[in-house]
Amino acid sequence: MSEKEIPQIYLITPANADLTFYSQKLAPLLDAFPIACIRLGLSSDDENLISRHADQLREVSHERDISAVISTHYRLVNPLGLDGVHRIDAAKTIREIREELGTDAIVGSHCGTSRHVGMNAGEIGADYISFGPVTHSALSDGDIADIETFKWWSEMVEIPVVAEGNMTLELASELAPVIDFLALGQEVWKNDTPELNIKEYISRIS
C-alpha cells in the first residue's frame, strides 16, 4: 500500500445484534460512511437464526454495493447469497473452502499474531489476512499483533492485510500507513453513538 492510500473500513456486526439492527442501525451508517466490507459477527450456532440475520445483512449491504461475508460458516455462503467467509482457523481449511466456493468468493483468514501462518494462508489462496488483537485486554491471552508485524507485511507481501481486535484511536493512526483494512466491531457498537465512533476512527486514518 502506498503512503498516499488510506485503509478501508471493514465493519463487523455485533455478536448480540437483533433482527432490527440491520435496517435501523447498520443501514444509516452505510449511507453515511464509506464501508468496504461487512462481516456477520453473530454469536450463534443456530443455522436458522444465522440465516435470518444473513438475509438482512445481504439486503442492506448489496443494495449499497458493499461486500458481505460471514464468520466461520462457509457452507452457508452460497445458499445465503453472501460474498465470502472469514475463517479463524488460519490456513487449515482454505483449500477446501476455495474448492467449494470457487474463485470469485472472498476467503479471509485470521492468523493471530503469526507472520508465518499468514504467509501460509496467503500461499494457499486467502484473499486477505487479518492479524490481531492489536492491544491487550482482560479477554485476550496476552499475545498481540504489534505494529512491526504490519510494517513487515506491507513491505514484503502483496496480499491485503486487516488489523483487528481491541483497536484504539491512537493505534489506528499509527497503523494507517501499513494496513489495507481497519476492522471495527465493538469499537463502533460500544455505546449509543456508533456514527460518532466510526467518524472519529475515519478521521484518524484519513
8 Cα distance to chain centroid: 10
For residue 138, the 8-state DSSP code is: T
**pLDDT tens-digit map of 44-74:** 999 999 999 999 999 999 999 999 999 999 9
Number of C-alpha atoms within 13 angstroms, CB side, residue 142?
0
Band of residue 141 on the pLDDT scale cut at 50, 70, 90: low
Q: What confidence score (pLDDT) does residue 49 get?
A: 97
Q: What confidence score (pLDDT) does residue 78 get?
A: 97
Do the beta carbons of residue 84 and residue 62 sit within 8 Å? no
**pLDDT of 155 higher than 50:** yes
Domains of the chain, residue spans: 8-205
Q: Which amino acid is at 88?
A: I
Q: What confidence score (pLDDT) does residue 1 get?
A: 42
Q: Which of 116, 70, 67 is nearest to 97 (CA)?
A: 70
- What class does CATH assign to 8-205? alpha beta
